[in-house]
Amino acid sequence: MTYSESSTKTITADNGIEYAYRDNGAGDVPLILLQHFRGNLDNWDPALVDALATDRRVVAFDNTGVGASTGATPHTVHEMARDALAFVDALGFAQVDVLGFSLGSFVAQEITLIRPDAVRRLVLASSAPQGAAGMHGWAADVIGAVGQPQPNPQGVLGVFFADSDTSRQAGMQYFGRIASRTSDRDAQTTWATRIAQYDAVCDWGVPNNALLERVSAIGVPVFVANGDSDPMILPHYSYLLAGLIPQAMVKIYPDSAHGFLFQHHTEFAADVHEFLR
Amino acid sequence: MTYSESSTKTITADNGIEYAYRDNGAGDVPLILLQHFRGNLDNWDPALVDALATDRRVVAFDNTGVGASTGATPHTVHEMARDALAFVDALGFAQVDVLGFSLGSFVAQEITLIRPDAVRRLVLASSAPQGAAGMHGWAADVIGAVGQPQPNPQGVLGVFFADSDTSRQAGMQYFGRIASRTSDRDAQTTWATRIAQYDAVCDWGVPNNALLERVSAIGVPVFVANGDSDPMILPHYSYLLAGLIPQAMVKIYPDSAHGFLFQHHTEFAADVHEFLR
């Protein structure tokens, strides 16, 4: 069973939200995937999920208000983290590995701070610590490219892939892979979700040097990763995270941008396996 | 003329201190070397200085009170930076590149903050920002190994080189190279210098998250480098610096420790040339 073929399931948590999710692979400690700004279940690259699911259980889900999940998308990362934990609790997982990507990586940090004993290991892809200077609301051309009401594939391509032939080609292949699923596709994320998520991103990015200390409380091993040309969340912030988190390793992938984990799906999945092992 | 053969010169600065220095190579913007805890002119690996001096002017000196320089070693990094600038002024350099190693890298940061227009580019080897948590006074076994009144080559070997056959072998070769100079050797650093420098190191390492913001004012390009197994200043802090300094690149050298720049002298010198070019 590949990610593109796996059915979308639902489960209702104690907070009353019915969460949509897809559950692939098998293993003791599941790996929970936390998605990027405006992304739903169909935005996970099936090539990446399949590579991750070769020797572990991988669970992707829509957080509250996103895609096919019910409820209203909250406006803060903290509330998103509590909602994600409600989903984890609903599935009965006592401990999980977490892979957060972009906005999802902010939620992943917050989950680990809220409930440290629920997280075994943490992967932060295209991430930054709350309060780091220079990332408030993203650069104008970045939010211009991915923040419009109508889908803008060229805009996504320019943010998620680097300005090189190889990376743009990888981007076109990624678009092909996420379009390959023809039945049981997820619901599109709404404008209300876009508004709420961008509020959360801006709140996270308000410069506040004092908040940098928060991630020093993350006691689990962390793998921080990014593309070397990410215009949305600069690689700079990966170094900052790796310098603030006591047990962190960092890797910057060449010739890639925000979507480095899709472009380099084989290498990244191998690095994640090595890290989680 | 190699570093091992170059004569030791002296110059008296406006602060009344007579500084001992060695001046090798030739070029427009000189590269000033700032030495580690208890190190004098003879502790610079001649293989590294010679590799750096192939296409630029490289000036190593004893700061105030160190080795053959006169005066009393100050007890703070800030005063050491002002003294280093007095030396730079005495030689009439309007702008310099700076390579600071360990304690010297703290001084290098401070120089760049005190007088930004005097520094063109900055190399920080085995470095950490002031106020970073977890480095106050170094680990007990580290200061135990290098902080005793009598020289302890085994202690230095254990801090400057990694716990592998290749690295220890490189360490023995380094000891051989710095011992090769037979005439005009520098004066030994004194116990008073050791006391004062360790005061400065401890002062720099008092944990204070608010001080991390200081290095964000460093506007010049910075190359941050360390060995992957440095027990004195963990590689962790190189990532922190690279995340806090706006224009920083970072490289962690394999199978090496505090003295990575001596062990990997050819590769490190090539990286420095590439960065300064």
CB hemisphere CA count around A2 (13 angstroms):
14
Give me the mean pLDDT over the B78-87 stretch: 98
Question: Which single residue is written with the structure tokens 């979308």?
Answer: A8
* pLDDT band at A164; cut points 50, 70, 90: very high
Please, is B165 exposed, middle or buried when counting C-beta atoms within 10 Å of its C-beta (0-12, 13-18, 19+)?
Answer: exposed
pLDDT of residue B243: 97
Asked whether the beta carbons of B58 and B30 are under 8 A apart, the reply is: yes
Cβ–Cβ of B239/A250 closer than 8 Å? yes
CA closest to A214 among chain B residues: B209
Determine, for residues A216 and B133 on separate chains, whether the beta-carbon distance falls below 8 Å.
yes
Size of interface A-B (CB pairs under 8 A): 52
Integer angstrom CA distances of residue B272 from B53, B71, B240: 11, 32, 20
Query: For A26-42, how does the pLDDT look when each residue is reduced to its tens digit (9 = 90+)?
Result: 999 999 999 999 999 99
- Nearest chain A residue (CA) to B224: A239
The 3-state secondary structure of chain B, one letter per residue: CCCCCCCCEEEECCCCCEEEEEEECCCCCCEEEECCCCCCHHHCCHHHHHHHCCCCCEEEECCCCCCCCCCCCCCCHHHHHHHHHHHHHHCCCCCEEEEEECHHHHHHHHHHHHCHHHEEEEEEECCCCCCCCCCCCCCHHHHHHHCCCCCCHHHHHHHHCCCCHHHHHHHHHHHHHHCCCCCCCCCCCCHHHHHHHHHHHHHHHCCCHHHHHHHHHCCCCEEEEEECCCCCCCHHHHHHHHHHCCCEEEEEECCCCCCHHHHCHHHHHHHHHHHHC
A137-157 mean pLDDT: 95
> A208 — contact with chain B (CB < 8 Å)?
no
SS3 A21: strand
Q: Do A133 and B216 touch (CB under 8 A)?
A: yes
- Give the pLDDT score at A85: 98
Which candidate, A73, A56, A70, places its Cα nearest to that of A11? A70
Question: What pLDDT score does B151 carry?
Answer: 85
Q: Assess A142–B contact: CB distance below 8 Å, yes or no.
A: no
The one-letter code for the residue type at A84 is A
Calculate the average pLDDT of chain A.
97
- Does the domain spanning B9-276 belong to CATH 3.20.20.540? no
Chain B CB contacts of A248 under 8 Å are 236, 239
Q: Which positions in chain A touch B248 (Cβ < 8 Å)?
A: 236, 239
Chain B residue whose CA is closest to A129: B243
| pLDDT beyond 90 at B123 | yes
Q: For residue B15, what pLDDT is reported?
A: 98
The whole-model pTM stands at 0.93
For an interface test with B, the pick among A240, A241, A249 (most B C-beta atoms closer than 10 Å) comes out as A240
Predicted pLDDT of residue A13: 98
Q: Choose from B239, B241, B249, B251 for mutation: most chain A CBs within 10 A.
A: B239
| Distance from the B244 Cα atom to the nearest Cα atom in chain A, whole angstroms | 6
What residues of B are in contact with residue A210 (Cβ under 8 Å)?
209-210
Q: What is the pLDDT of residues A87-139, one digit of tens each?
A: 999 999 999 999 999 999 999 999 999 999 999 999 999 999 999 999 999 99
CB-based contact, B213 to chain A, within 8 Å = yes
Burial annotation B238-253 (CB, 10 A radius, 16+ → b, else e): bbbbbbbbbebebbbb
Q: E-strand spans in chain A?
A: 9-12, 18-24, 31-34, 58-61, 96-101, 119-125, 222-227, 248-253
Residues paired with residue A252 on neighbouring β-strands, in sequence order: A226
Q: How far is CA B96 from the centre of its chain?
A: 15
Look at A239 and B237 and tell me if their CB atoms are within 8 Å: no
CA–CA dist A261, A252 (Å, integer): 11
Interval B131-149 mean pLDDT: 96
pLDDT at B32: 98
The 10s digit of each residue's pLDDT in B150-199 is 989 999 999 999 999 999 999 999 999 999 999 999 999 999 999 999 99
Mean pLDDT on B203-217: 96
Closest by alpha carbon to B83, among B58, B57, B62?
B62
A210-215: average pLDDT: 96
Decide if A213 touches B, using CB distance below 8 A: yes
Cβ contact B243–A248 (<8 Å):
no
Pick the residue with more confidence: B150 or A83? A83
| Mean per-residue pLDDT of chain B | 97
Q: In the prediction, which pLDDT does B178 show?
A: 97
Which residue does chain A place closest to B228, by CA atoms? Answer: A249
State pLDDT tens for residues A221-253. Answer: 999 999 999 999 999 999 999 999 999 999 999
> Sorting pLDDT into bands at 50, 70 and 90, what band is B107?
very high
To the nearest whole percent, how much of chain B has pLDDT over 70? 100
pLDDT at A153 over 90: yes
Give the pLDDT of residue B1.
82
- A244 and chain B: CB distance < 8 Å anywhere? yes
- The model's confidence at residue B17, banded by pLDDT at 50, 70 and 90, is very high
Rounded Cα distance between A92 and B162, Å, is 45
Q: What is the pLDDT of residues A175-193, one digit of tens each?
A: 999 999 999 999 999 999 9
